[in-house]
Structure 1
Amino acid sequence: MLLFCFFLQFSMVYAQEGKSSEFEKTGTELFYSNDFVGALPYFEKALEQNPKSAKNHYFLGEINFKLERTKVAMDNYNKAIELDTVNFTYYKDRGRLKAHLKDYRGSIADFNKSLEISPDFSDALFDRALSNYQLKQYSDCISDFTRVIENNPKDKEAFYSRGSAKIDSGDLIGGCTDWSRAGELGFIKAYETIQKKCN
């Protein structure tokens, strides 16, 4: 009898996880098709089946962020991090939300945590550079963009953004050189900026 009860309980858990996986799969497909409104109920149902899934909380955070439901998104990210404290992407995206809310110092703390876990994570370096730029911490900003460029020497947006930071820190030649490189790599907007500020 005890064995039967255990088997029944195991079967119920397995069935719930199977349903959760189906909801996750459909939700993920809709998410990556940019159908965030459509994806939302599938991840909510997946979470009902598996409330301790950090990944589902994270995806709900991403969806709610996209839908400008920032308070709910913050709660989702917080729960994802509570359940999985070593996922560097979760910290990075909560940092993005904080930056969106103009909490630049708070965002930098999250980007720092992300980079503690994954030191060469270019997305976190790029986003930390943007937050440092907003705080006019140009030296730190330039340092992060330089690391992004070292990781990917063809990152045209990093060249353009580093150029802007150099200009604002008083390095006209360095900034214009970075903008020129961004243009060479296909960031055509850079040439408009060069015409206005470098000639």
Structure 2
Amino acid sequence: MKNILTYILLTTILLFGKSQISYGQTTINMKKEGGVYSIPCSVNGIGLKFIFDTGASNVSISLTEANFLFKNGYLTKKDIIGSANFQDATGNVSVGTIINIRKLEFSGIILNNVEAQVVHELNAPLLLGQSAMAKLGKFQFDPNSGALTLLDNSIKIIDSGTKEGRAYCDSGNSKQELEDYNGAMTDYNKAIDINPNFFRCYWLRGVLKSVMGDNNGAIIDFTKSIKLNPDFKMAYVNRGWSKADLEDFKGSIIDFTKAIQVWDGKDDLAIIYFSRGCSKKELKDEIGAIADFNKAIELDPNDFQAYGNRGHSKMILKDYKGAIADFDKLIEIHPEDGLAFYNRGQAKMALGQKDNACMDWRKAGELGYENVFEDIKEYCN
């Protein structure tokens, strides 16, 4: 008998990324440290780690950071607004200086002209407070997971893209949906020329390159998108698919694992576990693959591809009864799948169930799976 065929359908999966552009909603996953959630930020180009604190009225930095920023030219006298007294959570009043942060960046989002306070204490905590959060429009924060979701219609979210840049990127996405790939590429290039930090447009251009068969070029764009926004989950997913297409399965597993780590919620997560399982199968890690297919099926009980691949892995591990159970489920969900009948027939033949195997193979032939006829001729006549 010929080797069993798998159900890996990366061409279909790649299309998953085409229409996932959404300028209004972004999820930022923060890290919990010492009982509080922190988020890396850039203040006028200098990286600092802030504590997320919706109870703080302003962004707040200590005298230590302020002195460094002034000494190195990242803050100037023009950025000083004035002085004020501040009351902390304990009720104590302290003196501080009000400054203007010209550019505050985090997770690919750029906020301009953010009012902040310099607390005249060397070890005061750095707080990301309301003067920044108010610029983001509506948002939700999950204190259990640390996920900060910036909701639709939050007009202050800018994705590092100006209005003109977005217009070109939207146009490119529309042309891509109509399969005008050359026109889409032209528009994406224009959008990125206008906004070199437009992380979503790098991602969309990468998806287009992968559809056009340029996976190396796609990986460059996905990597740029990730560099600009390390929490942008879809860039990891698409880069993983491109690496898998180039048979860099170890690299794809790393990307799928990162995507799972930053994923918010359960929607579409099954396909990421499925993809990672496929890459593990290519590396002959059948046990690891089964674990991922189990998770994919748990998240999406109708994922027939996961049943097919899990059945294939069980066949390799000589768990023929388990494989038959998976092919049974696949056929229940997708009864017109000739390959499923063929594979189930192979498992039955391995158990010595020749008559039942031949019945499945004949059904596979009726459904148009032509490769089965050689086996029927050899074993069933």
Q: TM-score, normalised by structure 1?
A: 0.91
Q: Which of structures 1 and 2 has the bigger CA Rg? A: 2
Q: How does 1:73-92 map to 2 (within 5 A)?
A: 73-84=252-263, 86=266, 87-92=269-274
The equivalent of 1:14 in structure 2 is 159
One-letter code aligned to 1:79:
K
The equivalent of 2:367 in structure 1 is 185
Higher relative contact order (CA 8 A, sep 6+): 2
Cα offset, 1:25, TM superposition: 1.4
Identical-residue share of aligned pairs (%)? 32
The equivalent of 1:140 in structure 2 is 322
Q: Do the aligned partners of 1:162 and 1:175 also contact (CA within 8 Å) in 2?
A: yes
The equivalent of 2:286 in structure 1 is 104
Q: Do the aligned partners of 2:249 and 2:282 also contact (CA within 8 Å) in 1?
A: no
Q: In proportion to residue count, which structure has more helix?
A: 1
- Deviations 1:128-166 (CA, angstroms, capped at 9, x unpaired): 111001001011111111111111111111111111111
Find the partner of 2:239 among 60, 65, 68: 60
Q: Secondary structure at the match of 1:113?
A: helix
Residue 177 to residue 12, structure 1, CA distance change in 2 (3 Å):
closer
- Deviations 1:40-73 (CA, angstroms, capped at 9, x unpaired): 1111111112211222111111111211222222
Q: Do the aligned partners of 1:163 and 1:175 also contact (CA within 8 Å) in 2?
A: yes
Q: Do the aligned partners of 1:88 and 1:114 also contact (CA within 8 Å) in 2?
A: yes
Structure 2 CA distance, aligned partners of 1:74 and 1:62?
9
Q: Secondary structure at the match of 1:147?
A: helix
Structure 2 CA distance, aligned partners of 1:36 and 1:162?
34
Q: Secondary structure at the match of 2:204?
A: helix
Q: In proportion to residue count, which structure has more strand?
A: 2
1:37 paired to 2:216? yes
Q: Do the aligned partners of 1:16 and 1:50 also contact (CA within 8 Å) in 2?
A: no
Find the partner of 1:165 among 323, 334, 347: 347
The equivalent of 1:194 in structure 2 is 376
Structure 2 CA distance, aligned partners of 1:34 and 1:185?
31
Gaps of 5+ in 1: none
Cα offset, 1:12, TM superposition: 8.8
Residue 157 to residue 183, structure 1, CA distance change in 2 (3 Å):
same
The equivalent of 2:144 in structure 1 is none
Q: Do the aligned partners of 1:16 and 1:49 also contact (CA within 8 Å) in 2?
A: no
Q: Do the aligned partners of 2:249 and 2:280 also contact (CA within 8 Å) in 1?
A: no
Residue 102 to residue 4, structure 1, CA distance change in 2 (3 Å):
closer
Query: Which one is further off, 6-15 or 72-81?
Result: 6-15
- What is the total number of aligned residue pairs between the two structures? 199
Considering only aligned residues, what root-mean-square deviation do their CA atoms show, in Å?
A: 2.3
The equivalent of 2:33 in structure 1 is none
Structure 2 CA distance, aligned partners of 1:40 and 1:186?
37
Find the partner of 1:126 among 308, 322, 343: 308
